[in-house]
Amino acid sequence: MSICEVLAVLYEGVMNVDPGNPQKEDRDWLVLSKGHCGPALYSALAYKGYFDIELLNTLNQNGTSLPSHCDRLKTPGIDLSTGSLGQGISLGIGAALGNKMKGLDNYVYIIIGDGELQEGQVWEGIQFAAHRKLDNMILIVDCNKRQLDGYTNDICSTFDLGVKFSAFGFEVQKADGKDCGDIYRALMDSKQISKSIGKPTVVLLDTQKGQGCSFAEIASFNHYMVVTEAMAEEAICEVERRLQKALEKEQTDIEKEGQGR
């Protein structure tokens, strides 16, 4: 749930994609290195029109086209299969390099978890991407501060990610992962900056595991949960309340702007 906002921004306001032609050559790519978050990506793809929303009800069932981890051979709109943490970023970097060699004017967006950064392969890839000046690649780190066994700072601290990525040759942007407007700003700035300076960019998203769902946010262990029907209904109502509040705030801001003119 901590990547729902960034997925919404990517598919509705940033990426050049065509649900009617998922394999078009000049499309932007999305690589979900933390492939276990497939259900969030499937939701974004369904609402974008890659497949019928009703298919979401078949998640993880026998014969489904929506397995627990992303599989490009099963799901329309999945560019690369992922799931083994640390390897998705290498695949995405390879795609970015390949597209650059073809002379394509597109971007590869890679979403990776902060716990996943403990994999050494990640930093090998980051160093390679900077060395090859992959300015057509934007890395997005979901900094939700937790991993399978607990908090990242308790298990293996990430330290200052901005400093680390800068040292590895990346341009660094930061954004509030709960604020779609701030995410959009960071992504658009990244596109402009990366091309102007000829280097890859990373966007560090400040997020919360279980984001937008109170019972998941406050749970001491929330890497996976058994959700009852009552809990699901509660979560839906909470999301709807937050959406209504956001829409009211947006309307108020528009009215204030109008009065200011």
Give buried/exposed letters for 127-160 (b at 16+ CB in 10 A, else e).
Answer: ebbbebebbbbbbbbbbbbbbeeeebeeeeebee
pLDDT at 247: 87
* Alpha-carbon torsion (138, 139, 143, 144), positive or negative: positive
Least Cα distance to 34 among 119, 106, 95 occurs for 119
**Bridge partner residues of 111 (DSSP):** 32, 140
Distances 209 to 85, 174, 243 between C-alpha atoms, Å: 17, 18, 19
**Among 208, 137, 195, 204, CA closest to 166:** 204
- 10 Å CB burial of residue 11 (0-12, 13-18, 19+) is buried
Q: For each of the chain's 261 residues, which pLDDT tens digit applies?
A: 999 999 999 999 999 999 999 999 999 999 999 999 999 999 999 999 999 999 999 999 999 999 999 999 999 999 999 989 999 999 999 999 999 999 999 999 999 999 999 999 999 999 999 999 999 999 999 999 999 888 999 999 999 999 999 999 999 999 999 999 999 999 999 999 999 999 999 999 999 998 988 888 888 788 888 889 999 999 999 989 988 988 898 888 888 888 876
Q: Round to whole Å and give the CA distance between 120 and 164.
A: 13
Q: How far apart are CA 158 and CA 62, in angstroms?
A: 38
pLDDT at 207 (0 to 100):
96
Strands 150-151 and 29-32, by their bridges, are: unpaired
Q: What is the pLDDT of residues 89-108, one digit of tens each?
A: 999 999 999 999 999 999 99
> What is the chain's length?
261
Domain ranges of the chain: 4-212, 226-261
> From 3.40.190.10, 3.40.50.970, 1.20.5.440, 3.50.50.60, which CATH number describes the 4-212 domain?
3.40.50.970
Output the pTM of the full model: 0.92
